[in-house]
Amino acid sequence: MTQSHMVNAAYGALCERVNLFGSRRKTRILLHTNIRRALHLPPHAMRFMTTGNQAIRLGPAFAIYALSKAKGRRFGQQQTLFQDVSRLGARLGMDIFVITPGAVRAGVHVVSGYRFREGVWREETCPYPDIVWRRLTSRPRALQAKLIEDETVFSEMPQITLPRSMSEKGVMHQRVLTRAPFSSHVPQTKIAHNEETLIACVDAFDDCYVKPARGTQGIGIARLRRTRGGHEFLRDGAPASKISLPELALWYASFFRVGERVIVQETIPLLHTMDKRPLDFRCLVQAVNGRPVATALIARVGSPQSITTNLHTGGEAVSAQDLLPRLTASQASAMPAEFRRAESLACDLFEMLQRQHGELGEVGIDFAFDQNLRIYILEINPCPGRRMLRNVDPRLRMHSITRILEHALCITGYETIKS
């Protein structure tokens, strides 16, 4: 027998009275147009859970925190990712919208966000989110004040953020350096905070890589090799040149001026393919039912004379299995076991980072093998992209998107709730 009664329906920080009706097997809510407008709901069906005899909660409201561009594609290279997240989220009964720096304000129950509807991004009033997925790929100097204000609001409000705090790969990497069993897999790494410390860090190595602590898609990465009378300065897309350490400090001064830090890391004699191309690997680790799972293991193959394997500087992404024919017979026979060892190490590392850093959702862990197949952890990226997955297997890319949304449902309490 179907019964109905009025209940309080909360969405974000908003609340309205709605009609709840159903039987023991099935319960539904009736949302009139005026109610949907008052709660700033999307047009599709939403999940809900009961939070008491006279109350329910709709959700989850899933905000993607990212930069917006004034010209061209609104969200740049991440726009296709955000559109796919929006489509899948709607099918899962979630509200997906993008918020930009400055959108959240203390004491305000709504935010200005962008929803993807009918093939178009529309700016709309959205509820304060239940969960925020951080997708900032840079921190522009002009937005520093807004970014700091946002972090203050995020720390004071009850939403979940993935990761919990705005971290950078250099900070996460430093947390690994002294922790067994990971410390034995980490190249010597130093963090420079200004021009003076950069000079001291580089001077400590005969051969090292210098790169911004935040991901720059290959921009700003250089290799320094000590020579008589200075250092050899190697960059992708530029001829080798000589440089003094004060000149190097000036070259990175623009990063320090906006508060960025710079990583200095000893050079590893990387494993190469038979045609002399350098190799490293990205392992995407995601939380699944509260446990870390290696969703993907991708090999990145650099061009013959490249100092990086980054896709934005000419690298090629291939699956770990497809890489094997490009190695020597002895290497190919040994690598499957090494891949399993690397995935296990990556999952253990995820657990350790989550204990220290709080909720993560996912991380991209970059590692490499030397000529003796020793594993080195090169980088920990708290905001991993999806371009490599798209190039290797689009289905795997969608699987990774599904997992981050399912994790959001899990940690907000909606994982078993039907639309």
Regarding whether 388 and 290 lie in a shared domain, the answer is yes
| Lowest mean pLDDT segment, chosen from 46-50, 90-94, 292-296 | 46-50
Q: Is residue 296 part of a domain?
A: yes
Q: Give 278's DSSP letter.
A: B
Instruction: Indicate the number of domains in the chain.
Output: 4
Q: Give 6's DSSP letter.
A: E
Peptide bond just before 187 cis, omega within 30 deg = no
Query: What is the edge-to-edge ordering of all strands in the sheet holding 279-288?
Result: 316-319, 291-301, 279-288, 362-369, 375-381
Domain stops at, among 242, 266, 290: 266
Regarding whether 386 and 302 lie in a shared domain, the answer is yes
Residues 6+ apart with CB under 8 A from 186: 173, 176, 177, 376, 377
Rounded Cα–Cα distance for residues 146 and 158 (Å): 19
Q: Give the structural domain span for 41.
A: 3-59
Regarding whether 397 and 274 lie in a shared domain, the answer is yes
Q: Which residue has the higher pLDDT, 257 or 135?
A: 135
Residue 417: the pLDDT is 45
pLDDT interval class at 335 (50, 70, 90)? very high
Given a cut of 60, whether residue 107 has pLDDT beyond it is: yes
Residue 419: the pLDDT is 34
Q: Is residue 245 part of a domain?
A: yes
Q: How far is CA 340 from the centre of its chain?
A: 23
Evaluate the CA torsion angle 241, 217, 166, 186 in order and state its sign: negative
Given a cut of 80, whether residue 11 has pLDDT beyond it is: yes
pLDDT interval class at 390 (50, 70, 90)? very high
Domain stops at, among 59, 80, 102: 59
Given a cut of 90, whether residue 226 has pLDDT beyond it is: yes
Lookup result for tokens 């997708």: 135
Given a cut of 90, whether residue 1 has pLDDT beyond it is: no
Regarding whether 243 and 127 lie in a shared domain, the answer is no
Q: What is the mean pLDDT of residues 17-21?
A: 84
Regarding whether 257 and 217 lie in a shared domain, the answer is yes
Rounded Cα–Cα distance for residues 107 and 148 (Å): 17
Residue 192: the pLDDT is 94
Residues 6+ apart with CB under 8 A from 310: 217, 218, 221, 236, 300, 302
Query: pLDDT tens, 188-206?
Result: 989 999 999 999 999 999 9
**CATH number, domain at 384?**
3.30.470.20
Regarding whether 393 and 295 lie in a shared domain, the answer is yes
Lookup result for tokens 């990145």: 300
pTM of the model: 0.90
Query: pLDDT tens, 301-333?
Result: 998 888 888 887 788 999 999 999 999 999 999
| Lowest mean pLDDT segment, chosen from 108-112, 141-145, 225-229 | 141-145
- In 3D space, the residue among 315, 320, 201, 310 whose CA is nearest the CA of residue 262 turns out to be 201
Angle between helices 169-177 and 329-357 (to 10 degrees): 100
Q: Which residue has the higher pLDDT, 156 or 365?
A: 365
Query: What is the edge-to-edge ordering of all strands in the sheet holding 160-162?
Result: 120-127, 110-117, 95-99, 61-65, 131-134, 160-162
Q: What is the mean pLDDT of residues 383-392?
A: 92
φ, ψ of residue 413 in degrees (nearest 5) = 90, 10
pLDDT interval class at 31 (50, 70, 90)? confident
